[in-house]
Chains A and B, each alone.
Chain A
Amino acid sequence: MIVQLCEIAQVRSGDKGDCSDISLFAQNKEMFEVFKVEITAEKVFEHFKPMAAGPVQRFEMENVLALKFLIDGALAGGASQSLRSDNLGKCFGSNLLRMKIDVPDHILQGAKCFRYPHS
């Protein structure tokens, strides 16, 4: 099933100079294996192309089932130069959650949903 990352993934982001630093967390090992295939550095670069020069580096953190992305040239010159409201890139992580990927149904069943449960 096609699912938007905001439904299933935890994320936190920050900065260093002009580089956005995003950690994306899967809920379990099976989901992490899907993330590794579906969320490549190339795909993340493509996702952020309208606002980042790149390149994108990816690190696999098996110990906490996370992918870390370093996106160069992403912060309009860095916090000390940027005119953006989000000059520190704190919300680059939530922007990554807009991405949609294909996850097998059985992995989604029983997974937590990270969207606010509107009644």
Chain B
Amino acid sequence: MKSVRIGASVGFWGDIFTSAVDVARYGDVKYICGDSLAELTMAILQKAKNKNPKDGYTKDVFPLMTSLLPICKEKGIKIISNCGGINPLGAMEAVKGIAKKLGLSDLKIAVVEGDNILDRLKEFGDKGYLGDIGAEHGGLWDKVLFANVYLGGKEIAKALSTGADIVITGRTTDSGQFLGPAMYELGWQEDDWDKIAQGIVLGHLMECSGQATGGNFSGEWWKVDKLGNLGYPVSEIYENGEFIFSKPRNTGGMVSVDTVKEQLLYEIHDPTCYLTPDGIVDFSTVKLENVGTDQVKVSGATGKPKPPTLKAILGYTAGFVGEGSITYSWPDALPKARKAEEILRQRIDMQGINYEEIHSEYIGLNSIHGPLAPEPEYETNEVMLRVAVRTSSKDEAAKIGREFPALALNGPPHASGLGGMHSIRELIGQKTALIPREEIEPLVKISVEEV
């Protein structure tokens, strides 16, 4: 039966590159695919593009492509990535530059555009697609930073049909990076719903890179070997949709039903109705089997027709966070930290810091599990107090950090480890909307250039 081997490169912007190189070198793959776009990444990229029209794609394209291009060119591996973000054409120019620098030629790069709807928001609002998004947030229109619909794997499959060696997109789904090459290579039709479902499950398992091959494993995690050299996913997917999920030989990590099942259900919400632009997947029929060392067979996903609308995400500026932290030492670390919080709150009132929300937590005690974390039964060696405020202006957010240094001199004794004072973070609110396909798909553009 016809099959194709597909590997994973990066699972997010900021992921390591050595595992991707191992996949290209030792994975015996025809495709290497990665997802670089978290929702909030789009906001960062839009701001970068506002400053410089050539910018707006993820910067890891430089180290990643520099490592991958020579190997992929030699082995004939095709690269797929949504690193284009807000500016896929800019990313293509960057890749062309990298190829030239490396002395590589005869490479075809395809770019998929059509996901960016920022310029069409007014039109879509007038047509009623955006619901109450405008009304609910009075001035939201002025605050929108980015607006993109999710395109899927079928656009990537179309881009591959141009003969491209590299496909760069903007906001395409995580799973689409992997479904696309499967559709193209195995000749699946857009309405082969069960096969499409298997391809989406493939993508879902591969898109978070190390999270399915032994990373973040909650079973006997201490038995997972060589995580410093973690092998990223490699799958062989067959014409009938079944695939063997694995990792390159001689890499660390672990692939078993136990590691794979954690990723299978990760962030899919209703597992019987996982919505993507390519189809709707029922994960409850998926069958996982251990079929060899570090090999899991995945079969049985069932699909339903794709929804008539595409999901859009609109990001808008939603204020700022200012924060600071300070660490208190034994003896009586916790009472000291609590006293410091009391002083800090008094100072915030005295200074009239205008915040919308204030949050305090004790790192080492309850910063992760919040009110469910019990009081410790032993005396802690140290506790870090962290206080954060949400404000509507950047200046206001900056005020809280300034209150921390004096605490070391004016508060309880034995404090150190001041931190966070200067990190003002902008918050990005998000709204989703559903846009009819016919508004988007006819305008999707695939352009091809050669180096």
Contact = CB atoms under 8 A, between A and B. Distances in A.
Binding partners A and B: yes
Interface of A: 10-12, 14-17, 19, 21, 23, 25, 47-48, 50-51, 59, 61-64, 66, 68, 70, 76, 78-81, 83-86, 91, 93-95, 98, 112, 114, 116-117
B284 A116 contact: no
A85 B284 contact: no
A81 B372 contact: no
B427 interface: yes
A51 B372 contact: yes
Interface stretch (B17-25, B130-138, B382-390): B382-390
Contacts of A61: 265, 271, 283-284
B361 A84 contact: yes
A17 B40 CA distance: 12
B104 interface: no
A25 B220 CA distance: 13
Q: What secondary structure prevails in chain B residues at the interface with A?
A: mixed
A78 to B, nearest CB: 7
B112 to A, nearest CB: 25
Contacts of B318: 80-81
A70 B269 CA distance: 7
Interface of B: 39-40, 216, 218-220, 222, 257-258, 261-272, 283-288, 300, 315, 318, 321, 323, 357-359, 361, 363, 367-372, 386, 388-390, 427-430
A112 B223 CA distance: 13
B363 A14 contact: no
Contacts of A47: 372
A14 B268 CA distance: 9
A66 to B, nearest CB: 6
Contacts of B288: 63-64
B271 A59 contact: yes
B341 to A, nearest CB: 14
B321 A83 contact: yes
B269 A116 contact: no
A23 B265 contact: yes
A65 to B, nearest CB: 8
Contact of B430 (A14, A78, A83, A85): A78
28 contacts: A10-B262, A12-B263, A14-B266, A14-B267, A17-B430, A19-B269, A23-B265, A23-B266, A25-B258, A50-B372, A51-B372, A59-B271, A61-B265, A63-B283, A63-B285, A63-B288, A68-B265, A68-B271, A80-B427, A80-B430, A83-B357, A83-B358, A83-B389, A83-B390, A84-B370, A91-B368, A114-B218, A114-B219
B361 A85 contact: yes
Contacts of A12: 216, 218, 262-263, 265-266
Contacts of A17: 430
B175 to A, nearest CB: 15
B40 A80 contact: yes
Contacts of B271: 59, 61, 68
B279 to A, nearest CB: 19
B368 A48 contact: no
Nearest to A11: B218
A10 B219 contact: yes
